[in-house]
């Protein structure tokens, strides 16, 4: 299984990002694939924040949230999915499936032996991440959920179909330019940091594939897993939850998140960020502080 590895120098001097990389390359079933993760704060902390990025981002997306969580004496783990960030990028598009990524994250959680987890998710971080506690509920205590969904074979609307078609038409999509359009206050250097993992189009199999994997039609892989996850969050979740919504997101904004709130047992009314769009973590310091305050209440 051929994989590409982004040269380390592409990650030098990224603005606002001075976190040390960590790697594991022998996860069961993923031997030879190097998975990157950040590991900030004390290893023996009472709480661990597991922050999962989505399409087409990587650990850089959480740079505003990591210090807030770490200053609360928590451990903060931010992995990159295979195909993104500093993780290896399998070259075969067909390898990118729902369970390929889900099983990798389950293996990483087990390898790092994470407990007392606050799961922090957005976009594909949620589509995959919200299915994880079903397999290991004893490891998860709390949830911070931002613009995402739990698709089970039904349409997410015309906006998502437009996005899916757009990505399919752009095999070498400029991720930095996309982020700059979505988050206009980003500097050019910050926007470029989102393109850093991808020296050329051969590195972008994950970027191309993730929109095609969202379970919006009957029979797609992951639907049964997500149905089970919905049951878990509705009936078996007893932890604390916090929801933040970027109101300007045309696809996974307030209406979709209001439906998700009803699925998550005990989820309070969301924090709505009127100026934020899909990538809520770019307003992440305020979200992180509000989540911590909510959990202490």
Question: Can 249 be counted among the known catalytic residues?
Answer: yes
Question: Can 278 be counted among the known catalytic residues?
Answer: yes
Which three-class secondary structure state does DSSP give residue 56? coil
- Active-site entry in 172, 249, 259, 286: 249
pLDDT per residue as tens digits for the range 60-90: 999 999 999 999 999 999 999 999 999 999 9
At 229 the pLDDT is 98
pLDDT per residue as tens digits for the range 137-192: 999 999 999 999 999 999 998 989 998 998 899 889 999 999 999 999 999 999 99
Short-list 158, 150, 111, 116, CA closest to 233: 150
What is the Cα–Cα distance from 243 to 271, expressed in whole angstroms?
A: 6
Phi, psi of 44 (to 5 degrees): -95, 25
Short-list 42, 36, 44, CA closest to 20: 36
| The pLDDT of residue 1 is above 80 | no
Question: Can 172 be counted among the known catalytic residues?
Answer: no
- Active-site entry in 80, 88, 123, 141: 123
pTM over 0.75: yes
């Amino acid at each position: 299984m051929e994989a590409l590895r982004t040269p380390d120098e592409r990650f030098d001097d990224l603005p606002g990002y001075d976190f040390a990389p960590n790697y594991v390359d022998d996860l069961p079933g993923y031997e030879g694939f190097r998975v990157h993760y950040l590991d900030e704060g004390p290893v023996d902390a009472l709480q661990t924040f597991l922050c999962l990025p989505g399409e087409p981002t990587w650990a850089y997306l959480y740079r505003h949230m990591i210090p807030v969580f770490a200053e609360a004496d928590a451990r903060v783990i931010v992995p990159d999915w295979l195909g993104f960030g500093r993780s290896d990028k399998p070259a075969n598009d067909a390898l990118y499936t729902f369970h390929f990524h889900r099983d990798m994250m389950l293996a990483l959680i087990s390898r790092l032996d994470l407990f007392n987890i606050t799961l922090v998710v957005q976009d594909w971080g949620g589509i995959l991440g919200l299915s994880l506690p079903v397999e290991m509920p004893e490891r998860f205590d709390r949830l911070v959920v931002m613009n995402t969904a739990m698709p089970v074979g039904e349409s997410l609307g015309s906006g998502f179909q437009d996005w899916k078609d757009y990505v399919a038409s752009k095999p070498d999509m400029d991720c930095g330019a996309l982020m700059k359009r979505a988050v206009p206050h980003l500097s050019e250097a910050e926007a470029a940091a989102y393109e850093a993992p991808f020296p050329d189009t051969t590195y972008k199999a994950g970027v191309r594939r993730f929109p095609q994997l969202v379970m919006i039609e009957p029979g797609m892989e992951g639907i049964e897993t997500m149905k089970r996850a919905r049951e878990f969050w509705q009936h078996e979740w007893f932890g604390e939850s916090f929801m933040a919504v970027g109101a300007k997101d045309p696809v996974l904004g307030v209406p979709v998140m209001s439906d998700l709130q009803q699925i998550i047992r005990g989820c309070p009314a969301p924090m709505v960020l009127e100026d934020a769009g899909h990538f809520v973590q770019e307003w992440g310091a305020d979200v992180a502080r509000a989540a911590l305050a909510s959990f202490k209440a």
